[in-house]
Amino acid sequence: MKVVILKDAAAVAKYGANIFIKQISRKPDSVLGLATGSTPVALYKELIDAYKSGQVSFKKVSSFNLDEYLGLNPTHPQSYRYFMNQQLFDHIDIDKASTFVPPGDAEDPFTACALYETAIKQKGGIDIQLLGIGRNGHIGFNEPSSSLMSRTRIKTLTRATIDDNARFFGPDEYQPHLSITMGIGTILESKKVVLLATGENKAEAIKATVEGPLTAACPASALQLHEQVVLVIDEAAASLLSDVELYKHIEIENQKLLERLGRA
């Protein structure tokens, strides 16, 4: 697990975006795994700017989103399909027919979960998966107690997650308590994983992810099993790690090696 500690949220977004830009430059038809929530927004702005400046094209890219609220149709302002259109897809040259979000309005959501898994496999799997992390260590909507080998499925949201997301809903607006989410096993099959975290409120989850035991109590700890994981975090999110300076030293030495090999 590679841990990159940067000064602030802006630096985290830029570093994370550059990973995606390099991926698409190497493989123009990359399959991206995308995330919603407040943390990825700044990264998406960086990608939009890179597209507008001619640094990257998304014409051949496909994408799969991690999750969606069960019971919301794609045009609902709080749906994650709507979010992705507003925050990214409407501003780049991606073919929206190649962008996939779990169908929150599916008549048979159980079948929809199986079909989503099939669609990912038919595209050859996800090349690079973007993740945020919840205060309780959830990734996607895989809440604590989730099986570490779980597949795309319906998941009940914890009270903590419902409370955290309540700010996005009006006082009289329906807020779903169920979701469709990629499973942890699905996420672990991605070829590379990039997790972003900023702010002191994520510090405990980051410590548990990086230095804690492998446990369903912190779903993100399953990333310890993945060969290619990059955690890009700011100093506030890193504040509870046992040796921040060690992680910074490791990253400096890694960058020196990559520069010497011409891979930076």
CATH number at residue 172: 3.40.50.1360
Burial class (CB within 10 angstroms; exposed 0-12, middle 13-18, buried 19+) of 159: exposed
Residues tagged active-site: 67, 136, 138, 143
CA distance 54 to 231: 27
Indicate the DSSP class of residue 72.
-
CA distance 30 to 25: 9
> What's the confidence (pLDDT) of residue 211?
97
- Cα torsion through 15, 63, 131, 157, rounded to 10: 150
Whether the Cβ atoms of residue 184 and residue 225 lie closer than 8 Å to each other: no
For strands 128-131 and 193-197, give the pairing. Answer: parallel
> What's the confidence (pLDDT) of residue 169?
87
> What's the confidence (pLDDT) of residue 33?
98
Whether the Cβ atoms of residue 136 and residue 209 lie closer than 8 Å to each other: no
The boundaries of the domain holding residue 187 are 2-261
Length of the chain as a residue count: 264
In 3-state terms, what secondary structure has residue 182?
A: coil
Percent of the chain residues topping a pLDDT of 90: 88
Indicate the DSSP class of residue 7.
S
**Residue ranges in the chain whose pLDDT is less than 70:** none
> What's the confidence (pLDDT) of residue 52?
98
CA distance 122 to 114: 12
Residues 6+ apart with CB under 8 A from 193: 128, 129, 131, 187, 223, 226, 228, 229, 230
> What's the confidence (pLDDT) of residue 174?
87
Give DSSP secondary structure letters for 113-159.
HHHHHHHHHHTT--SEEEE---TT--BTTB-TT--TT--SEEEEPPH
- The whole model's pTM is what? 0.94
- Count Cα atoms within 13 angstroms, Cβ side, for 254: 11
Number of independent structural domains in the chain:
1
